[in-house]
Amino acid sequence: MKPLDPRLLRRARAARAFLVASVVIGVASGALIVVQAVLLARGIAGVVLHGADVTGVVWALAAVVAGRAALLWLQEVVAQRAAAAVKSTLRRQVLEHALKLGPVWLSGERSSALTTLLTKGLDDLDPYFARYLPQLVLAATVPAGVVGWMATGDLIAAGTVLVTLPLIPIFMALIGWATQAHSRRRQRALGVLAHHFTDVVTGLPTLKLFGRAKAQEDAVRRVTDRHRVASMSSLRVAFLSSFALELLASISVALVAVGVGLRLINGHLGLETALMVLILAPEAYLPLRQVGMQFHASADGVAASEEVFRVLETPLPERGARIDVPDLRTNTLQLYDVTVRYPGRAEPALEGFDLEVRPGEVVALTGASGAGKSTVLSVLLGFVAPERGVVVVGGSAADEFEPTEWRRQFAWVPQRPGLRMGTVADNVRLGRPAASDDEVRLALLAAGASELELDKAVGERGQLLSGGQQRRVALARALVTDAPVLLLDEPTAGLDAEAEAAVVAGLRATGRTVLMVAHRPALIAAADRAVVVGSRELVSV
């Protein structure tokens, strides 16, 4: 973990502005600390040595204290603003990048991990900005200013501080190094324990059903015991390490104090200078010690930002920039020898696949589950880049075209309908926002969903509709577009035979090119021809 991730500064302008503001505030704080020490020393020395009137000094001191308070307030305000701005920038960038990476990259557990990262995960950046970064800047500015000022009064004391100061980061690094393996082991143990605990709790109804719930009591007790031991041991390490640093700083200050005291007695040093040095000495060590503490407090946020950069640095598939996509109303769509392998999979999902779809044709894709039918549609939509082979239209390869322009040629009904909160009409209009009520109604009719009212709410992810209704709304959403090619992934799963017949008739009536993944004989029979996806062995089983 680096003290300051340069990628954060590069990606988020607010972070750069914040760092500059923090440096300004840090320098001002350092100056005020020095002024405060000088005023204190002058006031005390004045009273002790010649009983002088120190009202002026007291007022000045009050002003300095007020100034330091104002700087703290300013730092906090700036930090909260910066944190909010950076979080929103990173959220937007990650969302945009994830959208460009496409649904295949997003599929499965990735999307839930991404949701956690973009909500709770990034919120962990707050302590990083509000506590850690300002402290890091103070640790860089305050000791330098303090030692520099000390040197003007007492070179030997400044030298002592200069020699002992690096011991603090060195010891911090040593402690961190020694406890790293330990804390990593603990992190892993905690992860395992959390999973185990969730497993046991979610499994309780089943266990109860089979009369095994009692036995789990012991398991839960054992798990929580191990959790307690692990937490206590990490707390012990934390206390011990902060104790060690505290001790080190105290000894260093004592060293300075002994030297100053001796020189004061010998008459080499005036009282005012000696007091100033003594007051300043602890201030030199404080920011360094605190930066270590804040470093741990912000570890979660740093981990989240690393995760963000891992997403942002995932390379986008290379696509062209041509926008003169040939019209698929008149051009044939061809796939030659297409092979697709998903990352982390040894077996190709699709191997040496050829296909030709002429304008106006209705083609059914059949084959066993997992044969690669949905993958064919993903290749056509440009969601996955084939490892070998090409998609050709009008003599040009598909990857020469700008993705958004290319996708205008297609309307896609995915395997999961993917409806949004809103009404039926809202969801259909995702296909074409300008569609009139009549056009929406017509699309619903063609999709066999004429029983659905336009203003019926679909609920979250379409939950207020039945599975079959969700599919038909998704189909209507594809039909309402003016895309020349419809890509339908099992469009009639969950429909009864009658509804299916209506849908097929509706598809035919549009006169558009249709490529559909089909399982049921009625749907396959309704197509002009059927193409089998996958190896022969797979199909024959």
CA dihedral 404, 409, 413, 417 (to 10 degrees): 30
**Which residue do the tokens 């926008």 mark?**
323
Applying the rule CB under 6 A, the residues between 422 and 461 that interact with ligand ADP are none
Nearer to ligand ADP, 298 or 366 (CB): 366
Q: Is 427 in the site for Mg ion (CB under 5 A)?
A: no
Distance CA 171, CA 164 (A): 11
Phi, psi of 443 (to 5 degrees): -65, -40
Stretch that binds ligand ADP, among 30-38, 278-286, 370-378, 385-393 (CB under 6 A): 370-378
Nearer to ligand ADP, 229 or 539 (CB): 539
Identify which of 195, 82, 176 has the alpha carbon closest to the alpha carbon of residue 133. 82
Q: Is 375 in the site for ligand ADP (CB under 6 A)?
A: yes
| DSSP H/E element including 280 | helix 271-297
User: Nearest distance from residue 371's CB to ligand ADP, in Å?
Assistant: 4
Phi, psi of 158 (to 5 degrees): -60, -40
User: Nearest distance from residue 529's CB to Mg ion, in Å?
Assistant: 20
Sorted by sequence, the CB contacts under 8 Å of residue 431 that are 6+ apart come out as 411, 443, 476, 477, 478, 479, 480, 481
Q: Is 107 in the site for ligand ADP (CB under 6 A)?
A: yes
Nearer to Mg ion, 331 or 366 (CB): 366
User: Nearest distance from residue 107's CB to ligand ADP, in Å?
Assistant: 5
Residue with the shortest CB distance to Mg ion: 374
CA atoms within 13 A on the CB side of 430: 20
* Total interface residues for Mg ion by CB under 5 A: 1
Distance CA 216, CA 214 (A): 5
User: Nearest distance from residue 138's CB to Mg ion, in Å?
Assistant: 57
Nearer to ligand ADP, 105 or 132 (CB): 105
Q: Is 104 in the site for ligand ADP (CB under 6 A)?
A: yes
How far, CA to CA in Å, does 359 sit from each of 376, 390, 512? 18, 19, 7
Q: Is 372 in the site for ligand ADP (CB under 6 A)?
A: yes
The interface partner of residue 345, options being Mg ion, ligand ADP, none and the CB cut-off 5 to 8 Å by kind, is ligand ADP
Query: What is the token pair recorded at 95?
Result: 């969302």
Stretch that binds Mg ion, among 160-168, 368-376, 444-452, 503-511 (CB under 5 A): 368-376
Among 371, 474, 504, 514, binds ligand ADP (CB under 6 A): 371
Nearer to ligand ADP, 190 or 493 (CB): 493
The interface partner of residue 349, options being Mg ion, ligand ADP, none and the CB cut-off 5 to 8 Å by kind, is ligand ADP
Among 141, 374, 409, 427, binds ligand ADP (CB under 6 A): 374
| DSSP H/E element including 4 | none
* Total interface residues for ligand ADP by CB under 6 A: 13
Q: Is 374 in the site for Mg ion (CB under 5 A)?
A: yes
Nearer to ligand ADP, 349 or 485 (CB): 349
Applying the rule CB under 6 A, the residues between 338 and 367 that interact with ligand ADP are 342, 345, 349, 367
Nearer to Mg ion, 110 or 196 (CB): 110
Stretch that binds ligand ADP, among 246-254, 309-317, 372-380, 441-449 (CB under 6 A): 372-380
Query: What is the token pair recorded at 228?
Result: 């307690």
User: Nearest distance from residue 374's CB to ligand ADP, in Å?
Assistant: 3
How far, CA to CA in Å, does 156 sit from each of 31, 176, 259, 437, 519? 21, 31, 8, 86, 88
Distance CA 62, CA 35 (A): 12
Residue 489 burial (CB count, 10 A): 23
Nearer to ligand ADP, 112 or 369 (CB): 369
The interface partner of residue 372, options being ligand ADP, Mg ion, none and the CB cut-off 5 to 8 Å by kind, is ligand ADP
Nearer to ligand ADP, 81 or 519 (CB): 519
User: Nearest distance from residue 341's CB to ligand ADP, in Å?
Assistant: 9
Identify which of 481, 335, 312, 465 has the alpha carbon closest to the alpha carbon of residue 410. 481
Q: In b/e form, how buried is each residue of 386-403, taking b as 16+ CB within 10 angstroms?
A: beebebbbeebebbebbb
Residue 429, judged by CB atoms within 10 A of its CB (0-12, 13-18, 19+), counts as buried
Nearer to ligand ADP, 319 or 341 (CB): 341
Distance CA 59, CA 185 (A): 55
Q: From start to end of 310-445, where are the E strands?
A: 333-340, 350-357, 362-366, 388-393, 396-397, 410-413
| DSSP H/E element including 516 | strand 513-517
The interface partner of residue 42, options being Mg ion, ligand ADP, none and the CB cut-off 5 to 8 Å by kind, is none
Stretch that binds ligand ADP, among 135-143, 282-290, 371-379, 443-451 (CB under 6 A): 371-379
User: Nearest distance from residue 504's CB to Mg ion, in Å?
Assistant: 19
Applying the rule CB under 5 A, the residues between 477 and 496 that interact with Mg ion are none
Helix ranges restricted to H, 386-535: 403-407, 424-429, 437-446, 467-479, 497-510, 521-526
Residue 466 burial (CB count, 10 A): 11
Stretch that binds Mg ion, among 271-279, 316-324, 371-379, 438-446 (CB under 5 A): 371-379
Identify which of 349, 350, 374, 353 has the alpha carbon closest to the alpha carbon of residue 515. 374
Stretch that binds Mg ion, among 49-57, 148-156, 297-305, 369-377 (CB under 5 A): 369-377
Q: What residues line the site for Mg ion (CB under 5 A)?
A: 374
Q: Which spans of this chain sit near ligand ADP (rule: CB under 6 A)?
A: 104, 107, 342, 345, 349, 367, 369-375
